[in-house]
Amino acid sequence: MTPSSRSAFGNAQKFAFRTAARYEQRLLKLFTMQQQITFLLFLLCAFTLTVSATETTIYKTFAPAEDVPSWTEKDEALVKDRLQMMLSPVNLKFDKHTKEYIQAYTTYGYRGAEKMLGKTALYFPTFEEYLREYNLPQQLKYLPMVESGLNPHAASGAGAVGLWQFMPETAKEAGLTIGTYTDERKDLNKSTEAAVRHLKYMHETFGNWELAIAAYNCGAGTVRKAIRLSGSRKYSRVKNFLPRETQKYLPRFVAASYIAENYHFHGLRPEMPDYNLLMTSTVKLYSSMTFRKIAGLSGVDMQDIQLLNPAYNRGVIPASSRGHYLILPEIGMTRLENHLKYSNVKTNNPTLNAASSGGQNLRKVSYTVKSGDTLGTLASAFKCDVKEVKTWNGISSNRIFAGQELMFFVR
């Protein structure tokens, strides 16, 4: 019997005794001895059935659901075939650990997998955008499925937080702020760009994605030590000198990649967010605003604002010279921007700022693209974001060409 069922049994038993005591005096007055015994036996049987039903309900709650998908040898063969057809920057090896994690996603853990898969609609577009900007493989977007289950509030016992699970020291090195009002490890845009830069550096350091992903998990120093001990840079040899958790990290990444692309073969149904949360727009604010004020001006529910903007700890976007991102459903952002045109709130939209303050805080600069320039390098040079460059110049692609004129707004 589980602790919960023992508790239920005890409560029912106490209730039976209390009820019997309550009726004891009435029984003595109204019934003969034989009638009293018969009634007490009836009462005992009734409560035995009640306890049995309670216990059955408890076991049913904690036992695997009746509709949990099964796993057969045929499924295993099909999974192997599908893995061979997938594109990935790593070797999609089907080993005992990969099998274990795919089984977890598709059988007893399928409900959690469906919730996580639904969140991909919220986060993958942003992951894909930054991976394109830094010319990294799109399949790296599956890493946060392993790191956090796509939960921006996820926190490990070691102190890692956010979608990409940044430790405090690594976050600070990446330029992410952790403070009373904000934890940028939970910021979708800032944490993703920081993670992508870090992955790019790991790949440049180790030369292949297996080692780069391992280093993302356990640190570059640990991987360097494993390379030295193994005398090789081949992951198949290096992994034996890595921590046990890291040895299982790549199989977890392979399993996450598989389920993201093949969930429909296993009858999984992603729990999609509300439609209005899928069509969003982003603006960078430099002035302080509360969630309550944003809700009033945009018509967006506070709950949705909090869900889309988990980096703000106290319902306040603080003022910042670097700016803070605000994400809202598109219709709500339109309402908010209509207000901001006639307020003193500063944003990364020069049109709005010009309307509110005559553009006194931003200086327009024209730049002619040179050979070798990218949006990422130019954004760094002008101390802005790639998203801002795109907004200012009305472009959607990451491609620019030599001789192209770009407009920047600098402070």
Active-site positions read 147
Write out 388-407 in H/E/C secondary structure.
Answer: HHHHHHCCCCCCCCCCCEEE
Residue 331's identity, in one-letter code, is: I
Give the Cα separation of 7 and 400 in Å (integer). Answer: 67
Give the Cα separation of 340 and 246 in Å (integer). Answer: 48
Residue 332's identity, in one-letter code, is: G
- The residue count of the chain comes to 411
* Helix (H) or strand (E) segment spanning residue 284: strand 280-285
Report the candidate in 325, 386, 392, 297 with the shortest Cα–Cα distance to residue 352. Answer: 392
Alpha carbon 132 to chain centroid, angstroms: 20
Report the candidate in 227, 199, 201 with the shortest Cα–Cα distance to residue 213. Answer: 199
β-sheet bridge partners, residue 281: 328
Give the Cα separation of 155 and 158 in Å (integer). Answer: 8
